[in-house]
Each structure stands twice: as C-alpha cells, then as structure tokens.
Structure 1
Amino acid sequence: MSKADDSLHRRPDLRAARPVPSLQGITEMAARDRAYHDLRYRILMGRLAPGTTLLETELAGLLNLSRTPVREAVIKLAEEGLVEVRPRHGVTVKPLTVKDVADILDIFSALEVRAVELVARIGLPATEWRQLERLASDMERETARGDIAAWSELDDEFHAHIVALCGNDRLQEALGACWGQQYRARLCIVPLRPSPVQSDLEHRGILEALKLGDSALARLRHQQHRDRADAQQLHLLKSHLGTNGMA
C-alpha cells in the first residue's frame, strides 16, 4: 500500500475544516488553549455579543486566568477575524455584517469546491462512502421531520467528512479559519431556513460524482450547490440583520 493509499484508510479528522465550537475537554487544556477555546466558544455562540468591548484584565477575570494566556488567545482570535484589539481601548468582538459574510463565503466555498474535486480525484474508500450515504439519509429523515437544527448539524458533518478526505492539510486549515468567521451567521439563520429538500437532492448528486470518481462533475455539482446555498444564506442573513446589515 502506498503512502497516499494508507493516508486514506486512516480515520480523518472530520472537524478539521469545520471546527464547531465546543468546551469539551477544556479543563485538561493548557491555559493558552483553554483561553482561546473558551473565548471562541463565547463569541461564536453569541455569549459575547458583537460590539462587546472588554479590557484584557476583564477577560482574564471572566475566564479566571492570568493575562498572559488571555493575551495569546486574543492574538489568535484577532488573526481569525473574530475580535479587534486596540491598545489601551480593549478587545472588541467584531460585528457581523452581510458584506463580511459574503467575502468569507467567497473564499470558503472556493476552497471547499477544490477539496471535493480532490476527493473525487483521489477516490472515495468504500467505508467513507457508506458513512456519507448514511449522513445523506439522516439529513433526508430530518428534512421530513422538519427539524432544521438537526439537519444543519448533519449538513456540517457531511461536508466536513468529505473535506477531511481531500489530503491537503493546508487547505483544511484555511477552511477552518473561514468557518469560524461565518459560524455566527449560520446560527442566526437556522430558524429562518426553508425545508432543505433541494440541498438533499444536491448532496445526492455530489455523492454520485464522488462515487464515479469524476472530479470535473464533482466540482461542477458542488459549485452549483455552494452558489445556491450561499445566495440563500446571505438573503436570510440580510433579512435577519435588518436594513443596516449589521449585528
């Protein structure tokens, strides 16, 4: 078995491209990592609202940590575009705007389309095909039930699973950074989303292209899927945020 083949049979990090915020295992982390994951969780889940400004000392008190790990965490969050740091003025959670989300989706979708193309080119192992088939069926079940929140979580897992098989770690890291910046927007629109019947059909089409190993077809179908889904997300977000397009 070649090195490339062997890499396909190792269990992928399914959340590499879509690191959904979680506090799981946070108590065992080093202080710097604990500060980063805690603050990121609070920001993405809306517990630190857009526009909130806190001094570094206040953040340290909030997290019950010293200022050094908090400062390091803030630098990383600023690099991800989630906060703005102004010397002597504190740390501000960046507002959510339609333009920002549109810019992020331009990058995120282009990278994800490339990842799907790579998976088709490499070939999809049978075990991973069965897992993706199960996820597609689970999404269709939640669509029939009308549980959009459950469907949205499965949708994340479906796309993350495919991307995790692309064999390009740098691409996955770039996707992860973009994902965090638009996660807040995704949460906002879950209650507004229509029944995702069209997405379910498009997922089946993408799976068919992957099973065939047709990289051109996989790229085309995923591009069409992203174009439609992104347009819908931006429309719903604009409706949610109101005329100023900001929250």
Structure 2
Amino acid sequence: MSRPRPSLQGIAKMPARDRAYHELKFRILEGRLPPGTTLLETEVASLLSLSRTPVREALIRLEEDGLVDVRPRHGITVKALSVEEIEQIYQVFSTLEVKAAQLTARRGITTADHDRLDGILTQMERASKRGDIEAWSELDDEFHSELVGLCGNPRLQAMLRQLWDLQYHARRAITKLRPLPIVSDREHRAILAAIAAGNEEEATRLHQQHRDRADEQLVSLLRQKTTFPTKA
C-alpha cells in the first residue's frame, strides 16, 4: 500500500538489523525523534538496546530512504524538510497516485473490492459529519492505499511508499488545521464511481483534480504553521 501507518507490529520477531530499521523509522515518522534530532551511533544503539552493527546497517537504509543524514564519526541527524521540499515530493507523489487510479480503472475491480472501498468512504463521511478530522485522515490514508494496492504495479507502489514516508510527519502536523473535508468526500465518491465503471479517462481526470486541490490546501496549511521545521 502507498500509505502504510507506522507500526511496531511483529518487530520482536525480526532480525536485529530489521528491528533497528523499523523501530527507528517508527520513532522518526511518529515524531518521537523529531526533525533536527542529532544522535551518535552509540546513542542510537543504547536507545534501541542493540549492538552497533545492526544499528549501522539500519542507519544506512534510513539515509537511502531520505529520512536521516549520516556523518561518519558524528552520528545521524533526522532530516528537516522545508515546505518547498514537501511541495516537490507531492508533485511526484500525486502524479504516481493519479497513474495508479488510471491503472486500477483499466484493470477493473471486483464487487468485493468496490464494497470494501465503499465502506471506507461511508466511514469517512460519518467522520466528516461528527467533525473527527483525525479519524477521517486515517480513513483517507486507507482509501488511497487500497486504490494503489489494486493498480497491479509493484514498482509504482514501492515508490509511493517511500515518498509517503518522507512527508508523513509534515502531513500529521497540519491534520487538525484542516477544514471539514466535505469536498474531498464528494470527490472520492466520484473517483470510485469512475473506477468501478472502468472509465480510465474520467478516473484520471477526477483523481488529478482531487490531488491538485488537496495538495494546494496541504502546502498552504504548512506555510501557515510557523512551528513547522524549515531549513536555514
């Protein structure tokens, strides 16, 4: 899926290097190691109660993911993305998501797939009515993830996962600032209808329109949030 929620599920059974990677990634994405945090390799090893070798391997992977900067003999720094960098990430992310919607419409979805997506949208609409933006946001992630999961292109899915990780913390920072997503609810319904009908052109047009509007709103909210970390 393109928008997996950070989780520590199953981490105890993982090899040390994978445990180190997933636990550090979880702490970074959930803000427990906020942008700008600097730690020595030994401090990270102590934090995770692991030896330095698996920690070193995990840090290399996290640097490849774009989540940290690693400096030999100086440890790591959790990267702080500027609003401009977040905007650039979304320009790529949204282009790939729109393509995923097109591919999903082309492949077609089963009745079970449709019913599952329809159920998520119903829950989102209920969350909107009661003003529960946090719950709506999690369901929004689930809806988009399910659509991408149906596109049949594992390379596209993998690229979306990495891009999602990069902007996850920033997106969470503005969740409570969002207006009620009534427009998004209508747009989601229209997108699902186009996909269910197998209309590639309409699914692409509607999803592009949705992403353009939603991305513009997100970037605008990020610019308004003065506490969001920016680069010097």
TM-score normalized with structure 2 length: 0.97
**Once the two structures are aligned, what percentage of the paired residues are identical?**
57
Q: Which amino acid aligns with 1:58?
A: E
Per-residue CA distance 1:23-61 (angstroms, 9 max, x = gap): 111111111111111101111111111111111111001
- Give 2:50's match in structure 1, choosing from 62, 65, 69: 65
Of the candidates 67, 89, 96, which is equivalent to residue 81 of structure 2?
A: 96
The CA deviation string for residues 128-148 of structure 1, in whole angstroms up to 9 with x for no partner, is 000000111110000000000
Tell me if the contact between 1:98 and 1:246 (Cα under 8 Å) persists in the aligned partners. Answer: no
Q: Which residue of 2 aligns with 1:224?
A: 209
Alpha-carbon shift at residue 238 of structure 1 (Å): 1.1
Residues 137-172 of structure 1 deviation map (CA, whole Å, 9 limit, x = unaligned) = 110000000000000000000000010000000000
Contact 2:81 2:229 in 1 (8 A): no
Q: Gapped runs of 5+ residues in structure 1?
A: 1-15
Change (3 A) 1:69 1:171: same
Question: Does 2:170 match 1:196?
Answer: no
User: Counterparts of 1:1-247 in structure 2 under 5 Å?
Assistant: 16-241=1-226, 245=230
The residue identity in structure 2 corresponding to 1:154 is: L
**For 1:146, what is the secondary structure of its paired residue?**
coil
The CA RMSD measured in Å over matched residues stands at 1.4
Shift of 1:96: 2.9
Q: Show structure 2 runs of 5+ residues with no match.
A: none
Aligned equivalents of 1:184, 1:232: Cα separation in 2: 16
Shift of 1:126: 0.8
Q: Distance in 1 between matches of 2:227 and 2:57?
A: 35
CA distance in structure 2 between the partners assigned to 1:244 and 1:173 by the alignment: 27
Separation of aligned partners in 1, 2:115 and 2:97: 21
- What does residue 3 of structure 1 align with? none
| Equivalent residue letter for 1:238 | R
Structure 2 partner of 1:12: none
Q: Deviating runs (4+, > 6 A) in structure 1?
A: none
Count of residue pairs the alignment pairs up: 232
